[in-house]
A and B are shown apart, each in its own frame.
Chain A
Amino acid sequence: MSKWIRVCPLEEIPRLGSRVVKTWKGDVAVFRNNSDEVFALRDKCPHKGGPLSQGIVFDRKVTCPLHGWNIQLDNGEAVAPDNGCTHRYRVRVDKGEVYLDLS
């Protein structure tokens, strides 16, 4: 059973940017790319825990602001040759509102 939780209107997340959502599971970074796709990751880089929400977003990737690891937004995996993975959450947009599934 998935539980969709409303987060915010899509416009409140800047294009090629993100917002941080405080949840009972910790901080979740919700990203929006240039094609208005939305992704959600645990806001911790698999490398040294940097806040991915603060990174530069491009295509379907984000670059961690601490040491420049590139993380794929759609699965949380680090782009080779780096190795690691951060938790991905399901997220969707319905009628301009962003919903998150923390289950």
Chain B
Amino acid sequence: MKKMKLVMVGNGMAGVRALEELLKLAPDLYDIIVFGTESYPNYNRIMLSLVLAGEQGIQDIILNNLDWYQQRGITLHLNKKVVRIDRSKKVVHAEDGTIAGYDRLLLATGSNPVILPIPGNELDGVIGYRDIQDTNAMIAAAEKYRHAVIIGGGLLGLEAANGLKLRGMDVTVVHLMPWLMERQIDSAAAGLLQKSLEAKGLKFLLEKQTAELIAGESGRVCAIKFKDGETIPADLVVMAVGIRPNAGLAEAAGIYCNRGIVVSDTMQTFDPSVYAVGECVSHRGVSYGLVAPLFDMAKVCANHLAHMGIARYQGSVTATKLKVTGIDLFSAGDFAGNEQTEDIVLHDTAGGVYKKLVLKDNKLAGAVMYGDTKDGTWYFQMIRDGKNIAEIRNHLLFGQPHLGNSGHQGQDSAAAMPDDMEVCGCNGVCKGTIVKAIKEKGLFTLNDVRKHTKASASCGSCTGLVEQILASTLGGAYMPTPVEKPVCACTDHTHAEVRKSIRERKLLTIPEVMRFMEWNTPDGCASCRPALNYYLISTWPHEAKDDPRSRHINERVHSNIQKLGDYSVVPRMWGGVTTPEQLRRIADVADKYQIPAMKVTGGQRIALAGIKKEDLPKVWGDLGMPSGYAYGKSLRSVKTCVGNAFCRFGTQDTLGMGIGLEKAFWGMWAPHKVKLGISGCPRNCSEAAIKDIGVIGVESGWEIYVAGNGGTKTEVAQFFAKVKTQEEVMEHAGAFLELYRQEGYYLERTAQWIQRVGMDYAKKRVVEDGSNRRALHRQLMKALEARKDPWEEFAVKGVEQQEFRMLEIVDEVSR
């Protein structure tokens, strides 16, 4: 079959990213032809300021080298400017006469710097700041001339000013507004910024309007004159007053433009065979100049070019970081605020730290930070997620609590970390390895880093750190993880969407879900299948059938696989209470099967480790105890203290309570593991304060705490309700667990789930609404009806025998 032709006009970051995304989805759909006006392949424009500052060379910022284009069969026309699009014949014409026909046209023409309409703007030595050529012109000027004037005190202007200063020029920044970067930061932060830039030797003229540029004898600019009559010397004038979408080509071809090329949410222009992405477009009336939104657009565009037809671009919230070495500045969202917003401010003038958070309706609407920006990505994520911050409001300003708190020695500032410091303890990845991968492989997202380095790919406790490393390595090019991630690469749908469809459409099997939601792989993968299986059996208990082939081996054979491929088993000891008879049996089994190791677990039980798979059913049969589910995304143990049975401080019957809860909820599958702790007094001997549900006995009854976690990220359980009787505890605990089972995302612990939906929500549904609580509790007990102990099924009833039987070669036939 003949391939379709895709022509791309423009060879910049947005366009090439769209091609990369397209090639991932449909590598063979198109013959691709690319026109670029510059003589370089795609490079990282954001890093130009580092080239100007002399911190990086041009080779360092190339993202896709010429081989990249060649290996993918892309025809690349460099130094060729497309001057005309003939839409009726579907052909583009370049200045030098090259023509190319297309089936689909992708416009990624970027933007042009705005040149002020003032006398002298055409003089030698007057430039914009946009590409490698401009950067080289500035570097050359710095060698010969002395006085540089930057018009525009925005992000780009300040980065240019800093670079030229480092190259030895005498630099003045002229700005029309009363403070610098007024579109990104408020006057307080701008004051601190200006002070530290002045300390670097930059000069500022604020609220100054340029009247004209004056030519010297050679015809090159020599001075700049302002409206108020003042004149200062200038051998180089850089205009950094803004950018304008480069829509001229499209406009001339009759494609509807309004400042930018107008596109729909599918990145399509008014001509259905013409798409546009990047700075040249106008989407819902907005043109973007930062890279993260452009990459979002690229992804959507690729989805449609690949005929998948499901993605939508719905606009972006943007964040800014200034890339001037030694200055930390971050801004995101609505930083200015208005009558409906409230501010939380920290202002330490002497220490050079300023942080302002803008809140609206208990949500973070914007943030400006100067001097200490390490929590920028965390705030940005909350802005994008629209997360309710009411409960963390009083320490919100002090940053992300417990960031990466296990195994990082409290280290939380990525930039300050040495290269050989370990970031990901699970996979043994050091900071240097991550930085190297980001630079050499052109990584932009958390997922990229996970794939290539494995950092943060296991327990995830270092995710915050990895995001910081990304942000500090990439500066403004960093793309925070999208608000709601798809379940995995097999689909574009999120966990929430999948759960909703399963419920509303009454989908009962994994193939049904995949068909209905248009999975793009034949039978999913090891990430999505277990999630789907859980969603099905938790939404439709007794109706949806459990699929053992979609479970991790641990849950399939109800044991924990060990590093050498053998297994450990942990029999259930109700409430951590045992008998001499049980212990004797465990000892006998350990002798009989020569079990190499026994261990008392943190959940008050005994683990037998190092059992061969074939022996498992026999071990279970001889133990005669039920499975402790120590392997599952399910109820694990209920840890107890002895309570008032023996303890002189005990106030309540904790053993009875613990055994009661465990007997009620054993065998319950959940989005992730669930652990309970029951203490007889606030001394917390059973660690109830870091359990998914912690029940603490007091003289007058029971206090229930929820959403604690003792794992990679320690979370203290929060107060949920105070009740009088054991029945009430059971009902509250069951209802809370059922709500989590129904609404939590797969692999989300109760702590993360509560962080996402808010404690108020859970209290409203469970504590305040009695009839809903009873309904939830009933639903859970109904789902748990007729549950069977899996070990008994295997050992006594002999189900799934072949799972445990190895094959041996039966006969030998030569053929």
Stretch at the interface among B61-69, B144-152, B474-482, B517-525: B517-525
State whether B808 touches A58 (Cβ < 8 A).
no
CB distance from B591 to the nearest CB of A (A): 26
A20 and B806 contact, CB distance less than 8 A: yes
**Is B451 touching A21 in the complex (CB atoms < 8 A)?**
no
Q: Are A49 and B525 in contact (CB under 8 A)?
A: no
A65 to B561, CA, bound (A): 8
Are B524 and A58 in contact, CB atoms less than 8 angstroms apart? Answer: yes
Q: Report yes or no: A51 in contact with B565, Cβ–Cβ below 8 A.
A: yes
Chain B residue numbers with a CB within 8 Å of A5 are: 809, 811-813
Q: In the complex, what's the smallest C-beta–C-beta distance from A30 to chain B, in angstroms?
A: 8
Q: Which of B511-534 contact A (CB under 8 A)?
A: 521-526, 529-530
Contact with A along B426-470 (1 / 0, CB 8 A): 000000000000000000000000011000011000000000000
CA of A3 to CA of B811, assembled, Å? 11
**Interface contact B549-A56, CB-CB below 8 Å:** yes
Residue of B whose beta carbon sits closest to that of A62: B526
Report whether B806 and A56 are in contact in the complex, using a CB–CB cutoff of 8 Å: no
- Given known contacts A23-B809, A58-B524, A81 and B549 CB-to-CB distance under 8 angstroms: no
Inter-chain contacts of B810 with A (CB < 8 A): 6-8
B684 to chain A, nearest CB (A): 35
Given known A19-B802, A49-B565, contact A58–B809 (CB-CB < 8 A)? no
Q: How far is the CA of A3 from the CA of B473 in the complex (A)?
A: 56
Whether A48 contacts B563 by the Cβ 8 Å rule is: yes
Given contacts A19-B802, A50-B565, contact A59 B550 (CB under 8 A): no
Q: Which one of A16, A70, A100 has the highest number of Cβ atoms from chain B below 10 Å of its Cβ?
A: A16
Which residue of chain B lies nearest to A14 when distances are taken between CB atoms in the complex?
B549
B523 close to A68 (CB less than 8 A): no
Are B814 and A3 closer than 8 Å at their CB atoms?
Answer: yes
Q: What 1/0 flags go to B488-530 for Cβ under 8 Å of A?
A: 0000000000000000000000000000000001111110011
A63 touches B813 (CB 8 A): no
Bound complex: CA A57 to CA B525 (Å): 8
Q: Are B807 and A22 in contact (CB under 8 A)?
A: yes
Instruction: Decide: B565 and A4 in contact? CB cutoff 8 A.
Output: no
**How many Å from the CB of B627 to the closest CB on chain A?**
18
User: B550 — nearest CB in chain A belongs to which residue?
Assistant: A56
- A4→B810 CA distance, assembly (Å): 12
Given contacts A4-B813, A19-B802, contact A55 B553 (CB under 8 A): yes
The answer to whether A20 and B807 touch (CB under 8 A), given A3-B812, A3-B814, A58-B523, is yes
A66 / chain B contacts, CB cutoff of 8 Å: 561, 563
A36 at interface by CB-CB < 8 Å? no
In the assembled complex, the CB of B529 is this many whole angstroms from the nearest CB of chain A, namely 6
How many Å lie between the Cα of A27 and that of B612 in the bound state?
A: 14
Tell yes or no: B312 within 8 A of A by CB: no
List residues of A (59-103) whose CB comes within 8 Å of B's CBs: 59, 61, 63, 65-68, 70, 81, 99-100
- Classify chain B's interface size: 20 to 34
A30 vs B806: C-alpha distance when bound (angstroms): 11
Q: Give the size category of A's interface with B.
A: 35 or more
* A58 x B522 contact (CB < 8 A): yes
Smallest Cβ-Cβ distance to A33: which chain B residue: B523
Q: Which residues of B contact A23 (CB under 8 A)?
A: 809
Interchain CA distance A32-B563 in the complex, whole Å? 25
Most chain B CB atoms below 10 A, which of A5, A8, A58: A58
Closest chain-B Cβ to A103's Cβ sits at a distance in Å of 11
| Structural contact, B811 and A6, CB atoms closer than 8 A | yes
Residues of A contacting B525 in the complex (Cβ-Cβ under 8 angstroms) = 56, 58-59, 61, 63, 70
Q: Would you call B225 an interface residue if the criterion is a C-beta within 8 Å of the partner chain's C-beta atoms?
A: no
Contacts of B812 in A (CB 8 A): 3, 5
Contact of B561 among A3, A27, A34, A54 (CB under 8 A): A54
- Given A22-B808, A59-B521, A66-B563, is A17 in contact with B549 using a C-beta cutoff of 8 Å? yes
Bitwise, B771-803 to A at CB < 8 A (1) or not (0) is: 000000000000000000000000000000010
- Nearest-neighbour CB distance to chain A for B559, whole angstroms, equals 11
Q: Which residues of chain B come closer than 8 Å to A54, judged between CB atoms?
A: 553, 561, 565
Residues from chain A with a CB closer than 8 A to the CB of B549 are 14-17, 56-57
Interface positions, chain B 541-564, Cβ under 8 Å from A, are 549-554, 561, 563-564
Closest-CB distance, A93 to chain B (whole angstroms): 13
Contacts of B550 on A, CB cut-off 8 Å? 56
Let me know if B815 is at the binding interface, CB within 8 A. Answer: yes
* B424 CB, nearest partner CB in chain A, Å: 13
Q: Which of A22, A59, A100 contacts B522 (CB 8 A)?
A: A59
Instruction: Please pick, from A19, A34, A49, A68, the residue contacting B526 in the complex, using a CB distance under 8 A.
Output: A68
CA distance A16 to B525 in the complex (A): 11
Give Cα distance in the complex from A51 to B810, angstroms. Answer: 22
Which residues on the A side are within 8 Å of B806 (C-beta)?
19-22, 27
User: Are B807 and A63 in contact (CB-based, < 8 A)?
Assistant: no
Q: Which residues A6-48 have CB closer than 8 A to chain B?
A: 6-8, 12, 14-17, 19-23, 27, 30, 33-35, 48
How far in angstroms is the closest Cβ of chain B from A78?
A: 13
- Give A21 to B808 CA distance when docked, in angstroms: 6
Do A56 and B552 touch across chains, with their CB atoms under 8 A apart? yes
CB distance from B244 to the nearest CB of A (A): 40
CB B638 to nearest CB in A, in angstroms, measures 28
A81-B451 in contact given A14-B549, A20-B806, A56-B549 (Cβ < 8 Å) = yes
**Among residues 570 to 629 in chain B, which have CB atoms less than 8 Å away from a CB atom of chain A?**
none
CA distance A4 to B813 in the complex (A): 6
A-B CB contact pairs (8 Å), 23 listed? A3-B812, A4-B813, A5-B813, A6-B813, A7-B807, A7-B810, A12-B807, A14-B549, A23-B809, A33-B523, A54-B565, A55-B553, A58-B522, A58-B526, A58-B529, A59-B523, A59-B525, A63-B526, A65-B552, A65-B561, A66-B561, A68-B526, A99-B813
Query: A54-B565, A57-B549 are known contacts; what are 15 more A-B pairs with Cβ within 8 Å?
Result: A5-B812, A5-B813, A7-B809, A12-B807, A16-B549, A17-B549, A21-B809, A51-B561, A56-B526, A59-B525, A61-B525, A63-B525, A63-B526, A65-B552, A66-B563
Using a CB–CB cutoff of 8 Å, the interface residues on chain A facing chain B are 3-8, 12, 14-17, 19-23, 27, 30, 33-35, 48-51, 54-59, 61, 63, 65-68, 70, 81, 99-100
Residues in chain B within 8 A of chain A (CB atoms): 451-452, 457-458, 521-526, 529-530, 549-554, 561, 563-565, 802, 806-815
Q: Which 4 A-B pairs have the closest CB atoms?
A: A63-B526, A56-B526, A54-B553, A51-B565
